[in-house]
Amino acid sequence: MCCLLLQRHGPELVGLQMVEAAPMVVVRVNGSPDATAALDFAAQEAALRHLPLKIVSVWRIPLFAEAAPFGPFARASPLPRPEQFRRDAELALEQAVERAALLQPSVRCEARLVEGRPARVLAQEAHGATLLVVGSPRKTQITKWPGRTGRRLISRAPCPVTVVRGPTPS
């Protein structure tokens, strides 16, 4: 099955692309409690819909990690080494695949480790998907909006997006 993906930049239509539809549930993981709640929800949805689950861990080296350890932005504690960001994302992905297999053994899982900006990568990974699931931090009782990635995906994703709230901080 194919679907047509419209690409927009503001009000302008900038491209059309035929995309092979791959019915699946896509979820972003990063090792946080919010992402774990999203994974649990996505695994359950994939089982209920009889669909495979694509688990995506997105990583990138933040600008501060490449900065020199001196000047106005110097820090007393050492910054993580750039390769540590990828290792952390790999570990989060491995743990997520294990958790999904325990929660829903009948669901086939695909794991993807991708470097880039989370919202952009997730929108690409969700082409043709049935559902995209992301976690959202619950920083305070007052905060009702999803996190930055969730807000961006709500308007950019090529499929429905579910934003799952993480646990309430104690």
CATH of domain 22-61+78-165: 3.40.50.620
CA–CA separation, 117 and 53 (whole Å): 21
- In the block, tokens 């994939």 appear at 46
Q: What is the pLDDT of residues 74-121, one digit of tens each?
A: 555 556 677 888 899 999 999 999 999 999 999 999 999 999 988 889
CB of 136 closer than 8 Å to CB of 163: yes
**Phi and psi for 84 in degrees, rounded to 5?**
-65, -30
Who has greater pLDDT, 126 or 147? 126
| Strand locations in 10-61 (E) | 12-20, 25-28, 53-59
Residue 127 CB contacts under 8 Å (≥ 6 apart), including other chains: 5, 19, 22, 158
Question: What are 70's two structure tokens?
Answer: 């001196």
Q: What is the pLDDT, as a whole number, of residue 135?
A: 87
- The one-letter code for the residue type at 83 is E
pTM for the predicted model, two decimal places: 0.75
Integer angstrom CA distances of residue 143 from 51, 55, 79, 139, 162: 32, 27, 30, 7, 17
CB of 164 closer than 8 Å to CB of 134: yes
